[in-house]
């Protein structure tokens, strides 16, 4: 942690980045970090490529938020990427990030340590790294940081049900709640509330789901037209794959979403033993052993045939 603390000590203004289509860990970590940096009397903004997903749009986060398109790189002395497993996932922020002294804080085992300073730890969520960093900086979490750290850990552990859930994850969230965070309000907004479009998308996902490999592989494909018909946004897809993973016989769940003509975002989840990070890595992606993703291009029928065929190597 010392190189991280030294990096922060040597700079006065920071642009904080997440990966493309950020999830709860990325956003929670980013806003917690920005809050901590401002508490140290440094300038810090979270620069996003798109507006916050509704379920993560907490009023406490808004003072730290700025759209990348509105940001002036000259206003920042350094850049920090959180929960971003590789530099390509910075997308349109990539050039900005590498134009400044930069640091990478992450928990993905596949992270190639692409920044000048790298801290990649084997923890449940990047939010744990931010919590430990705040302690190292003697920074007290304010309400934005408390919500952010809880959001990061709770979402990346599947509300404390995934295999990456650890006693440490519970301990940190217990401390956060003891500091005064309203867990009922925050957890309900993250896990229970959803738009009509997101609800209709669940129906489409389940209707399109097909089982293969003796029921051990579940695949669902959603097209751009189906997204539009449901009135859903990409952020509504974040946890939808769990409806396939939760089928009793399934070991590997795959969600294939059309991003543009001939290009598909492929998400993988496994339940007990399959290494989907290795699976995704074969196609330029990565992630965790139980949760990973990649992009695939081509005809959807060829992609489906490939996924079903290769999945056989990971299923017992």
* Domain containing residue 276: CATH number: 3.10.310.30
Q: Are residues 163 and 254 in the same domain?
A: no
Q: Are residues 94 and 60 in the same domain?
A: yes
Last residue of a domain, one of 169, 192, 215: 192
Domain identity same for 93 and 1: yes
Q: Determine the pLDDT at residue 287.
A: 84
* 43/173 same-domain check: yes
Regarding whether 217 and 184 lie in a shared domain, the answer is: no
Q: Return the pLDDT at 238.
A: 86
Indicate whether 165 and 224 sit together in one domain. Answer: no
Query: Rounded to the nearest 5°, which phi and psi values hold at 14?
Result: -135, 135
The answer to pTM > 0.85 is yes
Range among 50-54, 194-198, 202-206 with highest mean pLDDT value: 202-206
Among 163, 192, 221, which residue terminates a domain? Answer: 192
Range of the domain at 139: 1-192
Tens of pLDDT, residues 135-158 = 999 999 999 999 999 999 999 999
- Same domain assignment for residues 154 and 245: no
Predicted pLDDT of residue 288: 85
Model confidence at 197: pLDDT above 90: yes
The lowest-confidence range among 79-83, 224-228, 242-246, 288-292 is: 288-292
Are residues 122 and 269 both part of a single domain?
no
CA distance 204 to 187: 25
Hey, how many other C-beta atoms are within 10 angstroms of the C-beta on 204? 19
Per-residue pLDDT at 109: 86
For range 224-236, the mean pLDDT: 94
Mean pLDDT of 79-86: 96
Is residue 98 pLDDT above 90, yes or no? yes
My answer on whether 73 and 141 are in the same domain is: yes
Q: Say yes or no: 152 and 9 in one domain.
A: yes
The residue among 171, 192, 213 that closes a domain is 192
Q: How many domains does the chain have?
A: 2
Among residues 213, 147, 158, the alpha carbon closest in space to that of 186 is found at 147
| Radius of gyration of the chain measured on its C-alpha atoms | 19
114 touches 133 (CB < 8 A): no
Cα gap 125→31, rounded to integer Å: 14
> pLDDT-derived band of residue 94, with 50, 70 and 90 as boundaries?
very high
Q: What is the pLDDT of residues 111-136, one digit of tens each?
A: 999 999 999 999 999 999 999 999 99
Q: For residues 301 and 102, what is the distance between their CA atoms, to the nearest angstrom?
A: 41
pLDDT of residue 110: 86
- Residue 241, classed as helix, strand or coil, is coil
């Amino acid at each position: 942690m010392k190189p991280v603390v030294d990096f922060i000590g040597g700079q006065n203004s920071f642009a904080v980045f997440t990966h493309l289509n950020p999830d709860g860990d990325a956003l929670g970590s980013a806003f917690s970090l920005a809050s901590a940096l401002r508490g140290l009397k440094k300038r810090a903004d979270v620069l996003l490529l798109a507006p916050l997903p509704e379920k993560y749009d907490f009023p406490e986060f808004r003072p730290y938020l700025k759209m990348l398109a509105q940001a002036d790189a000259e206003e920042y002395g350094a850049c920090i990427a959180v929960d971003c497993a590789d530099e390509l996932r910075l997308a349109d922020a990539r050039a900005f990030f590498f134009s400044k002294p930069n640091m990478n804080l992450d928990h993905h085992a596949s992270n190639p340590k692409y920044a000048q300073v790298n801290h990649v730890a084997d923890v449940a969520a990047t939010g744990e790294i931010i919590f430990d960093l705040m302690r190292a900086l003697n920074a007290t979490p304010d309400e934005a940081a408390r919500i952010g750290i809880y959001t990061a850990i709770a979402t990346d552990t599947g509300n404390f049900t995934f295999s990456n859930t650890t006693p440490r994850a519970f301990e940190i969230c217990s401390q956060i709640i003891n500091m005064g965070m309203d867990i009922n309000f925050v957890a309900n907004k993250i896990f229970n509330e959803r738009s009509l479009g997101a609800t209709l998308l669940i129906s489409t996902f389940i209707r399109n789901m097909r089982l293969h490999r003796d029921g051990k592989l579940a695949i669902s494909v959603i097209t751009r037209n189906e997204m539009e018909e449901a009135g859903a946004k990409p952020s509504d897809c974040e946890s939808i794959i769990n409806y396939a993973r939760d089928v009793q016989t399934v070991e590997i769940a795959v969600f294939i979403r059309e991003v543009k003509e001939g290009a598909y975002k492929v998400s993988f989840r496994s339940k007990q033993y399959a290494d989907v990070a290795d699976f995704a890595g074969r196609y330029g992606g990565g992630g965790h052993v139980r949760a990973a993703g990649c992009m695939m291009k081509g005809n959807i029928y060829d992609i489906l045939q490939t996924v079903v065929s290769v999945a056989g190597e990971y299923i017992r």
